[in-house]
């Protein structure tokens, strides 16, 4: 009798002791999770055994035997699965980088224009933002792709000034052929950048000390653009353009941008641009009106007020959600599979079908996208901290 | 005389003059809003030009010179859009391959959604409290109506399609991802290290990968993880991954709300002797969820748009039905018409959700001041 009483007392004490309770709960969670994983692993092994598949990443060394039409590195159908996946990864990175740049430009312009007191302009931007935001991006990608592939056939290409041609296989553009001496132009570009940065720093220090302004932006632009131009002409125009020429069935020379890439890039940048414009708008609105008034009270023009007063403060609000938009764009680039742009997911799907290594391919996908996500957020967090430090 | 001029009567005061005509009325508005500076004037002119080259041709295409009747695309002879397919195909866009004689069940399920939603959206409606019990029962009622059982003929989910499939997956995802998201958000802020690490891992993994790879996982990998003789429905698997994906986003939205609740609220609740669950359920979550409503609705909108991704694993949602229609010889090349039609459905649903969220945002904003 006494024994049972004391043990029930013990049990109740464990139940009411928060630390004991949480320890038990965590232990149960771990055990449950471990059991779940064990069951899944044993199921998987049984299933793979039944289908005669083996696990492992050895297949990446096997020849792929399929073609890829858009490749940034050398690839033939004799190359390995691993190389095919790298080609896909590079295509993903290409469209993401292009999309991020375009979406940022579109988003910032649309965000600022939407706040403009020009009624027509702000309404037009609102319509653009609401339509693109509320329609699935996959639908937009497929829509633009259908329009581009519905363009005239190669025979009746639309000519853009006789140097570029638009048809249902994309845009064929002149390709630059670099000749001897172009290295100097590259050096000039580099020197221009460095000089522009140095001038900018010097101008800022001088303005901090003496209050005298210096047109650093125009000087910088002059250095970055002008210097290479001068060198370009001094070295005797070392770039030759390979202009596409019409042959019987196609074009010779130049390089082709596929309709898939254009459609994906355009849809992703307009879609993400609409979201970014909302972020920019709310960021600008979050800067209190007093700041604008104070700026005009000390005599700053509206353009300077925007650049020196509003945007630096708004950026602090803008950066964190902007990061997740960049990540979303990168992840949405995987929708390429629906129109056959050969990105990581699309090529991975082909690899999966050819090799049957489902688990490995999915693992590669997840690993790559997770690393891209973590790297982007690490970079943006660093940038965010740098901006935040300016505060006080 | 001087006295008289000094004490002027009120009638002698100068009459009020109207403001300069260029600053009032239509003209003033136009000058102030459209032509206030040369840059503004250029923008206005560009805007007007764009409207001129977009709007009239678009209206002409969609309505004035459109064909609306006919059996195939050859019946469409004019320059404009060809809407002739609507008559034959709109049932497929809405219901997919759901048996024609059972489609009334889908309609009823959709109609019942209205009384289920109203007590949740508007709390000042009479009978809202009782209505919420119906809202709670709605998912089960709708499942029975759509899938069958209890005297209804059973309809396999591979017959689901069209906009009905989008709504089914979207609604199921919305209903399930909110509670799971709340649990994950609480887990991420938990004092128990194991729970916290697991929540963080779940959230970051599902937020870090594209939904498309998860859908491939659902279609290809989940059967491999299951015991050999067990198979479960593809639509259910899709709902599972869509839910997992959006509950990770939901968790982050709600965590933002939780972080905005001042510490004093927790301490006051503890001082009253409330335990963890009662503190959360009665004090913290009602406030945190209220702040995060705009974010929650945005996640819902994202989830609903993402339901179109099921086409990559071969399900026939409304987008895929449109896509397959435009490759049918009868209607070949009517892609603009089909995609505009599909876009309209999504626009109506998503735009109303976002309007509702900004309405709430405004209402809550004034309440806090």
**Contact between B194 and A29 using a beta-carbon 8 Å cutoff:** yes
Facing B351 at nearest CB: one of A30, A130, A373: A130
- Per-residue pLDDT at B86 exceeds 70: yes
pLDDT tens digit string along B181-197? 999 999 988 888 899 99
Using the predicted structure, report yes or no on whether residue A211 has a pLDDT greater than 90: no
The superfamily (CATH) of domain A81-134+261-389 is MetI-like (1.10.3720.10)
Pairing outcome for strands A175-178 and A170-173: unpaired
The more confidently predicted of residues A78 and B317 is: B317
State the average pLDDT for chain B: 83
A15 token code pair: 């139940």
* Chain B residue numbers touching A374 (CB-CB < 8 A): 208
> If pLDDT is split at 50, 70 and 90, which confidence band does A14 have?
low
Residue ranges of domains in chain A: 2-51, 81-134+261-389
Separation between Cα atoms, residue B200 and residue B56, nearest integer Å: 52
Q: With a cut of 60, say whether residue A3 has pLDDT above it.
A: no
CB B220 within 8 A of CB A358: yes
Report for A87-91, A271-275, A345-349, B218-222: range of highest mean pLDDT? A271-275
The verdict on a CB contact (< 8 Å) between B209 and A366 is: yes
CATH 1.10.3720.10 in chain B is located at: 85-98+155-367
Complex confidence, ipTM: 0.85
Burial class (CB in 10 A: 0-12, 13-18, 19+), A197: middle
Q: How far apart are CA B275 and CA B279, in angstroms?
A: 6
Contact A124/B at CB under 8 A = yes
Cβ-count burial of B88 within 10 angstroms (0-12 exposed, 13-18 middle, 19+ buried)?
Answer: middle
- pLDDT of B162 strictly over 90: no
- Which residues are bridge partners to A257 per DSSP? A171
Cβ neighbours of residue B70 closer than 8 Å, sequence gap 6 or more: B76, B82, B84
Mean pLDDT score, B174-186:
93
Q: What is the pLDDT of residue B369?
A: 39
Q: Looking at the domain covering B85-98+155-367, what would its CATH class be?
A: mainly alpha
pLDDT of residue B211: 92
Closest partner residue to B217 (CB to CB) among A29, A362, A374 is A362
Burial of residue B160 (number of CB atoms within 10 Å: 0-12, 13-18, 19+):
buried
CB contact under 8 A, B228 and A43: yes
User: Would you say A106 and A276 are in contact if contact means Cβ atoms under 8 Å apart?
Assistant: yes
Nearest-CB residue to A50 (from B211, B220, B228): B228
* Residues on chain B touching A118 (C-beta within 8 angstroms): 33-34, 36, 40, 43-44, 47
A41-66 pLDDT, tens digit each:
888 888 877 777 777 777 777 787 77
Three-state helix/strand/coil letters over chain A:
CHHHHHHHHHHHHHHHCHHHHHHHHHHHHHHHHHHHHHHHHHHHHHHHHHHCCCCCCHHHHCECCCCCCCCCCCCCCCCEHHHHHHHHHHHHHHHHHHHHHHHHHHHHHHHHHHCCCCHHHHHHHHHHHHHHHCCCHHHHHHHHHHHHHCCCCHHHCEEECCCEEEECCEEEECEEEECCCHHHHHHHHHHHHHHHHHHHHHHHHHHHHHCCCCCHHHHHHHHHHHHHHHHHHHCCCCEEEECCEECCCCEECCEEECHHHHHHHHHHHHHHHHHHHHHHHHHHHHCCHHHHHHHHHCCCCHHHHHHHHHHHHHHHHHHHHHHHHHHHHHHHHHHHHHCCCCCHHHHHHHHHHHHCCHHHHHHHHHHHHHHHHHHHHHHHHHHHHHHHHCCC
The Cα–Cα gap between B278 and A77 comes to 63
Question: What is the predicted pLDDT for the residue at B246?
Answer: 93
Q: Which of residues 178-207 of A touch B (CB under 8 A)?
A: none
Chain A residues with CB under 8 Å of B207 CB are 373
Q: If you average pLDDT over residues A77-102, what whole number do you get?
A: 89
Residue B301's pLDDT is: 92
Q: What is the pLDDT of residue B322?
A: 86
What CA–CA distance (Å, rounded) separates B297 from B302?
9
| pLDDT band, residue A276 (cuts 50/70/90) | very high
Reported as half-sphere exposure (CB side, CA atoms, 13 A), residue B151 has a value of 2
**Least Cα separation, residue A143 to chain B (angstroms):** 7
């Amino acid at each position: 009798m006494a024994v049972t009483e004391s043990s029930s007392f013990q049990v109740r004490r464990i139940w009411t002791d928060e630390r004991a309770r949480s320890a038990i709960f965590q232990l149960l969670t771990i055990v449950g999770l471990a059991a779940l994983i064990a069951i899944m692993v044993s199921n998987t092994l049984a299933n793979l055994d039944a289908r005669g598949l083996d696990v492992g990443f050895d297949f990446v060394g096997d020849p792929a035997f399929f073609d890829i039409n858009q490749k940034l590195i050398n690839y033939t159908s004799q190359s390995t699965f691993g190389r095919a996946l790298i080609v896909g990864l590079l295509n993903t990175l290409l469209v993401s980088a292009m999309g991020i740049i375009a979406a940022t430009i579109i988003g910032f312009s649309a965000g600022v224009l939407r706040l403009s007191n020009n009624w027509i302009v702000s309404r037009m931007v609102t319509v653009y933002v609401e339509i693109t935001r509320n329609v699935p991006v996959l639908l937009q990608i497929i829509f633009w792709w259908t329009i581009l592939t519905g363009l005239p056939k190669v025979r009746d290409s639309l000519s853009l000034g006789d140097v570029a041609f638009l048809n249902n296989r994309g845009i064929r553009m002149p390709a630059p052929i670099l000749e001897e001496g172009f290295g100097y132009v590259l050096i000039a570009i580099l020197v221009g950048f460095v000089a522009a940065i140095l001038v900018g720093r010097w101008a800022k220090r001088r303005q901090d000390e003496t209050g005298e302004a210096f047109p650093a932006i125009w000087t910088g632009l002059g250095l970055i653009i002008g210097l290479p131009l001068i060198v370009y002409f001094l070295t005797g125009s070392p770039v030759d353009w390979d202009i596409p020429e019409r042959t019987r069935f196609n074009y010779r020379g130049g390089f082709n941008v596929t309709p898939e890439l254009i459609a994906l890039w355009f849809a992703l940048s307009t879609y993400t641009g609409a979201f970014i414009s909302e972020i920019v708008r709310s960021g600008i609105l979050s800067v209190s009106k007093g700041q604008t008034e104070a700026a005009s009270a000390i005599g700053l023009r509206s353009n300077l007020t925007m650049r020196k007063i509003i945007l630096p403060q708004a950026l602090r609000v803008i950066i964190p959600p902007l990061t997740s938009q960049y990540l979303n764009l990168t992840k949405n680039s995987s929708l390429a599979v629906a129109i056959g742009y050969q990105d990581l997911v699309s090529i991975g799907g082909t690899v999966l079908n050819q090799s049957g290594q489902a688990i490995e391919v999915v693992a590669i996908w997840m690993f790559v996208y997770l690393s891209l996500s973590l790297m982007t957020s690490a970079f943006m967090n660093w940038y965010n901290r740098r901006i935040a430090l300016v505060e006080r | 005389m001087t006295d008289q001029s000094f004490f002027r009567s009120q009638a002698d005061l100068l009459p009020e003059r109207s403001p300069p005509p260029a600053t009032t009325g239509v003209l003033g508005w136009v000058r102030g809003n459209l032509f206030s500076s040369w840059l503004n004037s250029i923008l206005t002119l560009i805007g007007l030009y764009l409207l001129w080259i977009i709007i009239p041709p678009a209206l002409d295409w969609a309505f004035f010179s459109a064909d609306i009747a006919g059996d195939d695309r050859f019946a469409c002879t004019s320059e404009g859009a060809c809407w002739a397919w609507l008559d034959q195909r709109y049932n497929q866009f809405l219901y997919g391959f759901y048996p024609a004689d059972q489609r009334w069940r889908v309609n009823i399920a959709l109609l019942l959604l209205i009384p289920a939603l109203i007590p949740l959206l508007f709390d000042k409606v009479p009978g809202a409290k009782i209505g919420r019990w119906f809202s709670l029962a709605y998912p089960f009622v709708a499942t029975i109506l759509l899938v069958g059982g209890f005297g209804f003929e059973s309809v396999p989910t591979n017959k689901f399609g069209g906009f009905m499939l989008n709504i089914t997956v979207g609604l199921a995802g919305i209903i399930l991802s909110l509670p799971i998201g709340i649990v994950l958000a609480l887990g991420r802020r938990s004092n128990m290290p194991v729970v916290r690490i697991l929540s963080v891992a779940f959230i970051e993994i599902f937020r870090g990968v594209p939904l498309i790879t998860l859908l491939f996982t659902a279609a290809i990998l989940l059967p491999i993880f299951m015991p050999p003789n067990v198979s479960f429905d593809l639509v259910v698997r899709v709902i599972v991954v869509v839910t997992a994906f959006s509950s990770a986003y939901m968790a982050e939205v709600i965590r933002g709300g939780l972080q905005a609740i001042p510490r004093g609220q927790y301490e006051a609740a503890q001082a009253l002797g409330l335990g963890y669950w009662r503190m959360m359920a009665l004090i913290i979550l009602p406030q945190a969820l209220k702040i995060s409503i705009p974010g929650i609705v945005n996640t819902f909108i994202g989830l609903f748009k993402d339901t179109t991704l099921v086409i990559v694993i071969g399900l026939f949602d409304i987008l895929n039905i449109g896509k397959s229609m435009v490759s049918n010889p009868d209607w070949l090349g009517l892609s603009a018409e089909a995609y505009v039609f599909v876009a309209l459905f999504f626009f109506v649903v998503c735009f109303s959700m976002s309007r509702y969220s900004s309405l709430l945002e405004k209402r809550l904003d004034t309440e806090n001041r």
